Amino acid sequence: MPRDTSEQPTVAQTGEFGLIRALTEGRAQPPFTLLGPGDDAALVAAPDGRVVASTDVLVEGVHFRLDWSTPEQVGRKAVAVNLADIAAMGALPSSVLVGFACPGETPAAVLTGLADGMWAEAERAGIGVVGGDVVRSDNLVVSITALGDLNGLPPVTRAGARPGDVVAVCGRLGWAASGLVVLGRGFRSPVGVVNAHRYPEPPYAAGPAAASAGATAMIDVSDGLLADLGHIAKASEVGIDVRTEALQPDQRLQEVAAALGADAQHWVLTGGEDHALVATFPPHVDLPSGWRRIGSVTMPESGVTVDGRPYVTEETGWEHWKTS
């Protein structure tokens, strides 16, 4: 449960530099970090000679709620969603930079909790938090910039899929969407699906493994499987068909859906924020460990289909500012 921070020192009482010390002191850095927090900029190793970079912004009330998640869970999520983008390019994560904006009355423990979660997720990926900034604002906002290294391989973009390629996925689908519905109904369990919404667990190593195996296109599932496959289809000028027999919802999702009067298959096809990886591979490639085939790349006029037919529903994935 989210902890009570109402009686603890605020960010304004702690001060900018006191807060920076609380966020950075005593943190170990991995070999990628040549110079960490404390100077005008960080220095990060780039053995490949190229740097993969990605930025995401998380806003309280849009991407997270502190009555649903602890600051540590939000911190983990903030880092995870960025590192999933790095992995989706076939790169190894190397470091993250952090920006915090918040009102002065925000308890300092909220920001140190966010930092604890960020460092925990960075450690899971084998990297460090190398720098950042803190500023005053009217809302709590977290911005993450993630960097990665291609390890000598070409980047895997959205634009390389070709008809006849295999479509495969690594990671969970539908869990975060299920957790969001559970929380929205006022429940806090089952913990497994609720925590899937609170912080995803992207398969970071699966991205470089896919690149090494010859993946032709790749993306992380942030907006929903069909929506994100649509991005690959558009960039590659192809169609994509997924097969529901390869996308059967986990038994736990089926139980939650039955209890809530929902459709677990719909969560799998359209639910975002799991940050699984989905990629296309040449047809005769042996898929890396953890990857499973879910469909195939078709001709452009086919569009994105499910079992050979358009998936007719009001929502196929998340899009900011979309009103209908």
In this predicted model, what pLDDT tens digit does every residue of 36-88 receive, in sequence order?
887 889 899 999 999 999 999 999 999 899 999 999 999 999 999 999 999 99
145 in a labelled binding site? no
222 in a labelled binding site? yes
| Residues forming CATH 3.90.650.10 domain(s) in the chain | 166-306
Report angle CA 237, 238, 244 to the nearest 5 degrees.
145
Query: How many CA atoms lie less than 13 Å away from 169 in the CB half-sphere?
Result: 24
Spatial separation of the C-alpha atoms in residues 143 and 89, rounded to whole Å: 20
Residue % of the chain over a pLDDT of 90: 80
Residue 322's pLDDT is what? 54
Residues 146-185: pLDDT tens digits?
999 999 999 999 999 999 999 999 999 999 999 999 999 9
Residue 259's pLDDT is what? 96
| Residues forming CATH 3.30.1330.10 domain(s) in the chain | 11-149
Paired tokens of 81? 């969603």
4 pLDDT higher than 80: no
273 in a labelled binding site? yes
280 in a labelled binding site? no
317 pLDDT higher than 80: no
Peptide bond connecting 9 to the previous residue in cis, omega within 30 degrees of 0: no
63 in a labelled binding site? yes
Does 27 or 288 have the greater pLDDT score? 288
| Superfamily of domain 166-306 in the CATH hierarchy | PurM-like C-terminal domain (3.90.650.10)
Which of 103, 88, 79 shows the shortest CA–CA distance to 12? 103
Q: Are 215 and 279 in contact (CB under 8 A)?
A: yes
24 in a labelled binding site? no
55 in a labelled binding site? yes
132 in a labelled binding site? yes
158 in a labelled binding site? yes
Task: Give the confidence band of 12 by pLDDT, cuts at 50, 70, 90.
Answer: confident
Residue in the block written with tokens 């190793």: 45
165 in a labelled binding site? no
Given CA atoms 277, 176, 101, 94 in this order, what sign does their dihedral have? negative
315 in a labelled binding site? no
| Superfamily of domain 11-149 in the CATH hierarchy | PurM-like, N-terminal domain (3.30.1330.10)
Name every residue whose Cβ is closer than 8 Å to that of residue 13 and which is 6 or more positions away in sequence.
Answer: 108
- Alpha helices per DSSP H over 125-250: 175-184, 191-198, 206-213, 225-236
The predicted model gives 275-280 an average pLDDT of 98
